[in-house]
Amino acid sequence: METPRDAKIVDEESEAHTEEVGLVLGDEDPEDAALHETILDEEPSWKGRILDVRTVKVELPNGRITTRDVVRHPGAAAVVALTETGKIALVRQYRTAIDRVTVEIPAGKLDPGEDPEVCAARELHEETGFRAGKMRHLTSILTTCGFCDEIIHIFMATNLTFDGATPDEDEFVNVDLVPLTELIDAVLDGKIEDAKTVVGALACDAIAHRL
């Protein structure tokens, strides 16, 4: 096995181990150019109401030709809504794909050309009835980049006011206000499985400890 680049071998008490030296982000290292696949063609395989499935023909770094199944998604926005008393607005909703109710932060897909912050604010109000006086971008995540290009932009909302939820006709949710500390405990105990909620909660908690 090759020794990782920018790593050094340290002998400590006669036991050799590898010590990491710094973070290298994707495509920042010129050597990453050799990892790229060349997209030769892309054809639609199936078109749905929210997403499309495409068959993508690629040339691998070794010259071999193969195909990839890729899901094209318009992207989404999610929001960690934090009250003045340190509680987070969460929604419980049924998810057909896993046939059970999940606990999540409010979220929804982007309309064509829509600003993610506008989308996050809209979804927060529709699902929970809260309006945000202040919005801050926390992070953006690739949900399943092995086969899907969906990006979820996660925001934190504060200075909240409540004037009633307006859910979509096909949207049925229960809303809870949960202390941030309780949510973090649930995340660390593996009780929260939704990826955007896990990331949003941990990011919000990290920021709260820096204030």
Q: CA 138, CA 82: separation in Å to the nearest integer?
A: 13
Q: Do the bridges between strand 107-109 and strand 76-81 make them parallel or antiparallel, or are there none, so unpaired? A: antiparallel
Residue 1 has pLDDT above 50, yes or no: no
Report the C-alpha gap between 6 and 194 in whole angstroms: 34
In the chain, ranges of CATH 3.90.79.10 domains: 76-210
Side-chain-side CA neighbours of 114 within 13 Å: the count stands at 18
Q: Report the distance separating Cα 150 and Cα 109, nearest Å.
A: 10
Q: Which residues are designated catalytic? A: 169
Helix, coil or strand: residue 65? strand
Predicted TM-score (pTM) of the model is: 0.86
| pLDDT reported for residue 8 | 47
| E strand or H helix that includes residue 200 | helix 195-210
Letter for the amino acid at 192? I
Q: How confident is the model at residue 4 (pLDDT cuts 50, 70, 90)?
A: low
Model confidence at 5, pLDDT cuts 50, 70, 90, reads low
Residue with tokens 């912050």: 117
Of residues 53 and 1, more confidence is placed in: 53
Dump pLDDT digits (tens) for 149-179.
999 999 999 999 998 777 777 778 999 999 9
What is the C-alpha to C-alpha distance for residues 171 and 141, in angstroms, rounded to an integer?
Answer: 24
Distance of CA 11 to the CA centre of its chain: 39
- Residue 196: partners with Cβ closer than 8 Å, 6 or more residues away: 78, 104, 105, 107, 141, 143, 152, 154
Domain 76-210 has CATH 3.90.79.10: yes
Report the C-alpha gap between 121 and 135 in whole angstroms.
Answer: 8
pLDDT in tens, 11-40: 555 455 555 658 999 999 999 999 999 999
